[in-house]
Amino acid sequence: MIGMDRLTYRITNENRRRLELLKAFAVIENSYPTFQDIVNRSIEDYFSAVYEKYCNQSPNDGYLRKKMEELLPG
């Protein structure tokens, strides 16, 4: 299990190995990322991808779309 602040979640052994490799070889913004950096970046990238897909399928003035726009990574 990985704990981040008040959030704890389980990851598969396969994803744990992937995370270890990313930690060993990844460079994000000219620094070596922590596990938390990698997980946060992954969530941001996934959220952005879901937002784009949602925008292609929903009305421009939807409540959920506005809420998602507030949470888009800077």
pLDDT 10s digits, 44-72: 999 999 999 999 987 777 888 889 999 99
pLDDT exceeds cutoff 70 at 24: yes
pTM above 0.85, yes or no: no
Taking CA atoms, 27 is separated from 21, 34, 37, 49, 71, in Å, by 12, 10, 10, 22, 24
Check residue 68 and give its pLDDT: 92
pLDDT exceeds cutoff 90 at 2: no
**C-alpha span between 9 and 65 (Å, rounded):** 27
Print the domain residue range for 54: 2-70
Domain count, the chain: 1
Check residue 6 and give its pLDDT: 61
